[in-house]
Amino acid sequence: MSRVLIIGCGGVAQVAIRKCCQASEVFEEICIASRTKKKCDDLAEKLKGKTATKITTAQVDADDSAQVEALIRAYKPDLVMNIALPYQDLAIMDACLSCGVNYMDTANYEPENTEDPAWRAIYEKRCREEGFSAYFDYSWQWAYREKFEKAGLTALLGCGFDPGVTQAYCAYARKHEFDSIKTIDILDCNGGDHGYKFATNFNPEVNLREVSAPGSYWENGHWVEVPAMSIKRVYDFDQVGQKDMYLLHHEEIESLAKTIPGVERIRFFMTFGESYLTHMRCLEDVGMLSTAPIMYEGCEIVPIQFLKALLPDPASLGPRTKGKTNIGCIFTGLKDGKEKTYYIYNVCDHEECYREVESQAISYTTGVPAMCGALMLLTKKWDKKGVYTVDELDPDPFLEALETYGLPKKESYCPELVD
Ligand code: NDP
């Protein structure tokens, strides 16, 4: 029986909240708090009479640690689920530390303003020393390890699908399928169609930043960085069919390079259609993906935020999206002295998700793991003090929970390999 404060009420949070309400025996009380309180109130109204979970709502600007702290002190939750944006991660972690409460999120920290000189100096040093130039990385949150450990608290980072479930798949492969893992390819396929020429399936600003950044992969102990979208492969996905996929930098590579001993190569591929890529390139060429504020007729605007206001809200794609997602990991390695390949993945149907929780599968495949991660912390199946990514925790109870709450795994021992 627990009390949980959920920050954010966008596409992913709405799924996580609905799923928490399916497990009222654990999520006895939740407070939904976001920048726009109306979204929280509207969802609470929809759920009225349909769950035993007691729901309250609040307004909070989570960029302001003091506001989060005041809310935590008033509500006294056992756990804070940050399902707002990665920009708020550090402010919310600070508030949790100061109030003595466990923390979790679905994406690692990145700053809202990447032109901030203080942040940029650290970022440029990291690019030189580490060898990849994505705006997001774990170093900011890993720096809280000792503080959380000393406070006897847990912070669970990036508990969505990728990162999140993909790291649990790696921990599972390591625990049950291999003596040593040689290569990991993470494949994220969205075979869904929403009928728009251009829309993003989760927060447009975060999504477009991720996709337009240089790609990188881990090989023989170091990063190899390549221009954005320069490595393309075609893959035949179970229940989706053939899709073009492109190599991206992704945060779980950073943690897996540390937690999978002796791994020789880790890559991440995501599928994109030609229309998406053409629109993205044009928008980038005209400066619409820039995070640097500009003055327009006396008003300061950030181009990518203005673009976000023009694009469809990802939460509105649910009723129009058809097709399936297929996300998982392909491994090669050794078991009992023999070479082995193994593919573990999930297939999720956009329309089925909509029927269940009024959302498309991208928000579903992120919101369900967020709820299952919270379940692991609240039931103490995961009870390590400090700051952890999912690959550092026991995958078995988490994969069982995913099975129960809508994301069952599929396995293959002779998958097509990616060259
Ligand atoms: P949305 O943009 O749909 O929702 C974000 C929510 O956060 C909105 O309710 C927004 O409020 C709220 N918010 C934004 N800023 C603040 C603030 N300063 N204070 C309080 N609330 C705020 O995003 P998504 O639901 O698509 O994504 C949520 C998170 O999930 C993101 O961090 C994203 O990166 C992550 N994600 C992770 C994935 C994974 O597999 N690990 C996959 C997909 C997403 P308002 O309504 O006022 O805008």
Cβ atoms of 409 and 173 within 8 Å: the answer is: no
Residue ranges around ligand 1 (CB below 6 Å):
7-13, 34-36, 39, 60-63, 83-86, 88, 106-107, 158, 160-164, 202-203, 206, 314-315, 366
CA of 323 to the centre of ligand 1 (A): 24
* Residue to substitute in 106, 169, 362, 364 for testing ligand 1 pocket (most ligand atoms within 8 angstroms of CB): 106
Distance 18 CA to ligand 1 centre (A): 16
The predicted structure's pLDDT at residue 208: 87
- As its CATH architecture, domain 2-157 has 3-Layer(aba) Sandwich (3.40)
Neighbours of 311 (CB within 10 A): 17
Q: Which residues sit opposite 237 in a β-bridge?
A: 241
pLDDT at 152: 98
- The answer regarding whether domain 165-359 maps to CATH 3.30.360.10 reads yes
User: What is the DSSP track for 329-388?
Assistant: EEEEEEETTEEEEEEEEEEEEHHHHHHHHSS-HHHHHHHHHHHHHHHHHHTTSS---EEE
Sheet holding 154-157, edge to edge: 54-59, 27-34, 2-7, 79-82, 102-105, 154-157, 386-389
At 78, is the secondary structure helix, strand, or coil?
coil
Whether the CB-CB separation of 340 and 333 falls below 8 Å is answered with yes
CA of 207 to the centre of ligand 1 (A): 11
Task: Output b/e per residue, 385-398; b: 16+ Cβ within 10 A.
Answer: ebbbbbbbbebeeb
- CA–centroid distance, 416 to ligand 1, in Å, is 35
Residue-range domain boundaries for the chain: 2-157, 165-359
Q: Which of 202, 307, 365, 391 has the most ligand 1 atoms within 8 A of CB, as the residue to mutate?
A: 202
- Extract the residue ranges of the chain whose pLDDT is less than 50: none
pTM given for the model: 0.96
